[in-house]
Structure 1
Amino acid sequence: MECTSKTDKYSFLKIFLAGALVALFLPVAAQVADLVLVNGKIFTGVGDAGFANAVAIRGNTILAVGSNANIRRHIGKATRQIDLKGKTVIPGINDAHYHHRPAHLGYTIDFPETGVAEWSACRDSLMQAIANTPAGTWIFGSLDIGVMSDTSINRYLLDSLSSDHPIWLAAYWGHGSILNSAALKALDITGHQADPPGGMMERTGEGIINGRLQEEAQLYGQPLPFIKDDLAITSLRQLARDASGWGITTIQNMCTAATPEVYGRWLPAAEFPLRMRLIRWGKLSNDDYSRLSNPSLDKWLQGSRYYTGGIKWMLDGTPLERGAAMSTDYADKRFWKGSLNYNEAELATIIKWSAATDRPLHIHAVGDRSIATLINGLEKNESAGKIPRIRIEHGDGIRPEHYNALKKQKIIVVQNPAHLMMDSVMRLRWQAGVLQTALPLKSLLRAGIPLALGSDGPMNPYLNIFFACVHPLRPQEALTVREAVSAYTLGSAKAEGREKTKGTIEKGKVADLAVLSQDIFAVPLQQLPGTRSVLTILDGKIVHVSF
C-alpha cells in the first residue's frame, strides 16, 4: 500500500505509534512449560535470599523460578504439574572428585572398607581364597594403615602363599599396593625396570623390585588385564542407580581404572543417564604430550552427557602413608617430611603442557610443601595464565600464607569431607602447628577462594555435607549446610568450568535438580546422612523417582 499524500503519511504514523504503545503495555503470553514444580522449598543458590516456591522447565532448561502464582502462568494443556507439598529442592549434586572402580575378574576378599587391620587375618583370608579358586585367578584385598606400613610384606612373602595366583593388595585409600610375582608378571613389570615418572617401586638391596608400588607405579589410568567391558558396564549401571538416588546429576570421574576413550565405549553401552566428566591421568612422556596436543582427541565426547576435561597429576601422597610433602617433620617420624612425586623441573613441564594444550590442570597436593611448590611453579611460569582452570585436589595442608597466591592464580580447591573424619590419624601424623591451620573450609570462602566438594570415598553427599558441617579436627572451619550445598553444586560447576550452565536453579540453566526426602536446611545435622532424593531430574527429564 502506498501513501499518496502528506496527510496520509501522518495518519499512518499515528496509527503505527498507537499500535506500538498498546503492544508495549499488553501482557506478554507466558511461555508454556513442559514441567512445573510448585509448593516447594527450592534452594536456588542465587543471591542472599536463595529460595523460591516453584520452578518451570521447558525442554532441558529452566524456564522460570519464583512464586507459585508466577510459575503457574507457564502451565498449558500439556504441562505436567508436580505438587511438591513443601519438599526441599536443590540443584543437582555435582561430585567433583570421584573414582569409579569397575567390577572386574577375580576374587575380592571381603575386608572392611578401611582394610584388614592384622596381617595374620589377611594371610588366613588369602590362603582360603587360594584354596577355593583355580590357579591363575586374580585375588584382591584392601589393607589398613598398619598392615600397609609393614615393609616386611612384599612380593616374596606373598609368593610363599601362592606363585600361581596373581595377588594385588592395595591400601584402602589408594596410595600404595603390594603385588606378588605372578601379578607383576601379568602387568609386565620386570625386576629391574626403572621407576615411572611420578611413581616409585621399592627394591631389594640388589635393586630388584620387591612388589611394593607407590603412586604412578600403580598404573593409574592404564589398561588392566582383569577389567572387562561387560563387568564395567554392569558396574556403571549400578553407579547410576546409586547416584541418581542421592540426587547426583554430575560425576567428575578421575579415570583411575581406564582411559576416557574406554569410558567412551562403556558409558553409551550402559545407557548411563547422568553426566560424567572424564578426567585423564597425566603421564610425563613425549608420547603422551603428542597425544594431548591433538585437538581432535576429545571431540568424540564433547557436547554429550559424557565429556572429557582436565588432566590430573599427583604431586604428593597423603598423611596416612606419610607421603604428603610437608615443610616440617612428621610428628610420629622424626627427620621425615614426606616427598614430592615430581621435582620442580618436572612440575614446570606439566604446567607448560597444560598451557600449550589448553587443558585444565588438576593437581593432587596435600602437604603444605607441595602446595607451596605448586604456587611457586605457577608464579615462575608465564604460560600459567593460559591454563583454562587450575584445581588443587584436597589441599589439606593449605596455610593462610597461601591464600593470596591461590586467589591471584584463580585456583579452585576441591576438598573431600571424608578426609575431615580422619582427625585421629592427622593428630598422630602432623605437629600441633600444622594442625592449627590444616583442612581449611570456612577460611577459604572468607578469603574469596572458590571451594568445591567431592566424595573421594563414600558417595553419599549428605554424609559428606554432615562431615563438612561438623569438622571434628577444627570445628571453627565447619561450613553451614547452605555453604556446603553451594560448594557441592555451584562450586563443583566452577571446578569444571561450567558455572554458566549449571550449579544453580535459575532461568536459562540446565534443568538438573533433586527433590529431597527431608529438609536438609532444617533437620539436625546428625540426620543429614539419611537424606535421599525422591525425584531426580537431569536435562528436564526424570531419571529417578521414589515417591
Structure 2
Amino acid sequence: MNTTHQTPHETADLIYRNATIYTVNTESPWAEAIAIRGNKILAVGDGESILAYQGETTKVINLNGAFVMPGIHDMHCHPDWALAGEFSYYQHWPQFPQSVKEMEDKLLALDKELPEDDWIYAGPINPFAFQQEGLGMDCHWLDKLLPHRKIALIDGGHHTLLTNSTTLTLAGITEDSLDPSNGCIIRFEDGKPNGLFQEGAQTLIKAVMPEIPVKDFMGMFAKGAKLLHAQGITSAKFLHLNTPRLTALRELDRQQRLNLKIEASISWKDDVVCVPDRWELMAGKRFEFMSDHINANSVKFYLDGIPPNRTTFEKSQFNLGGTLPRIKGNKFEVHDHRDHDHAAMSEHSSCCLSGGFGVVNFTFAELCVMVEDMDRRGIRVVAHAIGDQAAHWYVSAVERARKINGNQGPRHQIAHSNSILNKDIKRARDANMIIEFSPQMWWPSQITAALWRLYDKEKADRYWPFREAEDENAFYCFGSDWPVHGLQWWNAIEAMVTRRNPNKDPEFDYSMGENMGLSIEEAIRALTIRGAYAMNNEDRTGSLEAGKDADFIVLNHNLLEIAQDEIHSTQVLRTIFEGAEVYNQKDHQ
C-alpha cells in the first residue's frame, strides 16, 4: 500500500485512520488513513505512515474499519422545485393524488384557506387520473371548480401547467396567441386555448405570477444542500436557474451555508422559469455569481418533452397515440424520415433532413447556431434529450460546433439520455460530450412498466443504456433529477448494478434489460471521478489523492464486499466537504 503526499514534514489538521478507503485512484486504489490540512488532502496511505503527519494539534478520528470513498456527484437535480412547497407560496402535495376527486378536494380546501386575491399554485397534478376517469384535464374543469381564482397547477416534472379561464384572461392568452418556439399552448378543436401549457409555454402564465423572493430560494437551497449531504453528495448540478436563484446561491456560499460544489445552469428560452435578463447573463453578468464553489457557465433547455405526454422526440412512432404527427421543428410535419448525418449539412437545411415523432422545441438550424454560439463563448449547454432522435440531433449540433470552433470547447451534456442510440454514444464520446443518465428510475416499477408500453421491446430493454456507455468508453455520469423521482441514491446505485427493483417488489421481479448493469467499481467511478469530469473538476475532486479537495463520505459497509442486492441498505455515516464534516448520522438520530 503506497502513501502519496506532498512533503514528509507537513503537519495535518485532521487524520481519519483505521478505515477501508477506496480512493478511485487507479495507481493506489486502497488505503487505511487520510491526512487533511485545511481543505486539501495532505496524504493518503497506510495507517502507520499517515500518523507521521500527526502534530500536537492534529485531531485524529478512528473510523473503526468503516468504508470511505469520494463524495458522490449528482449531475442533475432541482432542490428549488423539491422544496418550493416549504419555502414559498407553492402548495406541494406530498402524496400524489390518485383521483380527480382527491385533487378537487385539495383545491377546494386551499380556496377556503387562502385569501381570495392569492394565487393557488399547487401540484403535482395527476394527468393519468383524468385519462382513467374519462374527464378532460382543461380549463373547463377548473372553471366549474374555481372560476374566479387565479390558479396554476403543475405536473411533477415541470413540463405541464394547467390553469382556468380567469387566469388565461389575466395573462392575455387568446385564440390569437402564438405558441412560443419552445412550447405549446394546447387548444380545443375550435382553436381556443384549453388551459394546458406544455414545456416553455408555461412561462406565459408564470410571467404574471408573483415573484418568489430571494430569501425563499435561500431557504430551499440551504435545506436542499443538507438533504444532499445526507445522501453523500458533495458536488451537484442545479438546473433551470435565473438571477434570483443565482443570487440565493451566491449569498449562501458567502455565508458558508452551501458546502457543495455547484454548477448553476441558467434556464434557456424560459423553459421553466422566466429569465428576462438572459442576454445580460450571457454577456457577462453570470460572472458575478462565480466563486470557488459555484460555476454559472452553463445553460439548460428542453430539446424535447416527456414520455407520459408522448412529447419526447423519437425516431419511431409510440405504441400509443398513433395520431401523433411527424414533425419538423416545432410541430411541423416531416415527409423525409431518412437518417442523415446532420453535422455534414448546412444550417439552412433545417431539421427536415431527418424526421421523427413527438415534439421538439427547436428547429435543427436554431439548435445548431445556438450551440455554436454557446460553445464559442465557453458556456456548457445541457440539453434535455429523452428521445433517441432528440439525442441524435443534439450530438449532430455539437459535432458541427466542434468543426467550426475547434475541439477545445465545453463538455456539453446530454441530459437524461434515456434511449440514446449506440452510434450516438460513440459520436458523443468523440465530440467530448457528457452523457448523463437520469432520473433514478432504471429498474422495473409501475412507472417504468408504463413507459415500456410506449416502445417496442428492443428499445425498452435499452432504456438508460449505461452499460453501452461504459463499453464504448464514453464520458457518462448520473443524476437524480430530484424531485421528479425522489432522492434515493442508494436504491439507484444498487439498480445501476442489478437493473432490478431494489425494493424486491414481487410484481416487478425481473431485470430491466439483460446485461445492461455496471459492476460496483464502474458505478462508483461514474458517481465520483466521472462526475468530477462532467463538472471540469477532475483535477480537484472525484478521487482521494494528495493535493485534491478533501471531499469524501463514510459508509456503514464496504460496497465492494456486500451482496449486490444489499447496496440499497447503505447508510451514510459522515459526509466531509473540503475537510469539514457537513453531515454526521449521529446528529440526525
Alignment TM-score, normalising by the size of structure 2: 0.81
1:143 aligns with 2:118: no
- Structure 2 letter corresponding to 1:423: T
* Amino-acid identity (%): 23
Deviations 1:459-482 (A, max 9, x none): 232122123222242141112222
RMSD over aligned CA atoms reads: 2.8
Alignment partner, residue 433 of structure 2: 411
Shift of 1:63: 1.1
Pick one of 190, 205, 208 that aligns with 2:192: 208
- 2:100, 2:130 within 8 Å by CA — same for their partners in 1? no
Deviations 1:62-104 (A, max 9, x none): 1111111121111111111111110011111121100122344
Q: Secondary structure at the match of 1:320?
A: helix
Correspondence 1:387-466 to 2 at 5 A: 387-416=409-438, 418-421=440-443, 422-457=447-482, 458-466=486-494
Alignment partner, residue 502 of structure 2: none
Correspondence 1:489-504 to 2 at 5 A: 489-504=528-543
- 1:221, 1:256 within 8 Å by CA — same for their partners in 2? no
Aligned equivalents of 1:460, 1:312: Cα separation in 2: 23
- 2:462, 2:516 within 8 Å by CA — same for their partners in 1? no
Q: Which moved more, 1:50-59 or 1:254-263?
A: 254-263
Give the length in aligned residue pairs: 517
- 1:104, 1:226 within 8 Å by CA — same for their partners in 2? no
Alignment TM-score, normalising by the size of structure 1: 0.87
- Structure 2 letter corresponding to 1:519: N
1:227 aligns with 2:212: yes
Alignment partner, residue 178 of structure 2: 194
Shift of 1:179: 1.7
Aligned equivalents of 1:221, 1:297: Cα separation in 2: 26
Gaps of 5+ in 2: 1-6, 325-356, 500-510
Deviations 1:16-59 (A, max 9, x none): xxxxxxxxxxxx74311111111101111111762211111111
Q: Which moved more, 1:259-268 or 1:89-98?
A: 259-268
Deviations 1:188-218 (A, max 9, x none): 7566432222111112345433221111122
Pick one of 288, 297, 302 that aligns with 1:300: 288
Cα distance, 1:36–1:188 mapped onto 2, change above 3 Å: farther
- 2:498, 2:565 within 8 Å by CA — same for their partners in 1? no
- Structure 2 letter corresponding to 1:195: D
Correspondence 1:290-369 to 2 at 5 A: 290-294=279-283, 296-336=284-324, 337-369=357-389
Cα distance, 1:119–1:287 mapped onto 2, change above 3 Å: closer
Alignment partner, residue 106 of structure 1: 89
- 1:372, 1:402 within 8 Å by CA — same for their partners in 2? yes
Aligned equivalents of 1:354, 1:400: Cα separation in 2: 26
1:54 aligns with 2:39: no
Deviations 1:491-542 (A, max 9, x none): 2111111111111111111111111233333333444334332222111122
Aligned equivalents of 2:40, 2:256: Cα separation in 1: 25
- Structure 2 letter corresponding to 1:291: E
Shift of 1:220: 10
Q: Secondary structure at the match of 1:396?
A: coil
Q: Which moved more, 1:162-171 or 1:315-324?
A: 162-171
Alignment partner, residue 139 of structure 2: 155
Q: Secondary structure at the match of 2:521?
A: helix
Cα distance, 1:327–1:288 mapped onto 2, change above 3 Å: farther
Deviations 1:391-442 (A, max 9, x none): 1111111122223212211111111252313430222111123224332011
Cα distance, 1:93–1:190 mapped onto 2, change above 3 Å: farther
Alignment partner, residue 95 of structure 1: 74
Cα distance, 1:265–1:378 mapped onto 2, change above 3 Å: closer
Q: Which has the larger radius of gyration?
A: 1
Deviations 1:160-201 (A, max 9, x none): 211343322222233212122444566675664322221111
Alignment partner, residue 265 of structure 2: 279
- 2:480, 2:489 within 8 Å by CA — same for their partners in 1? yes
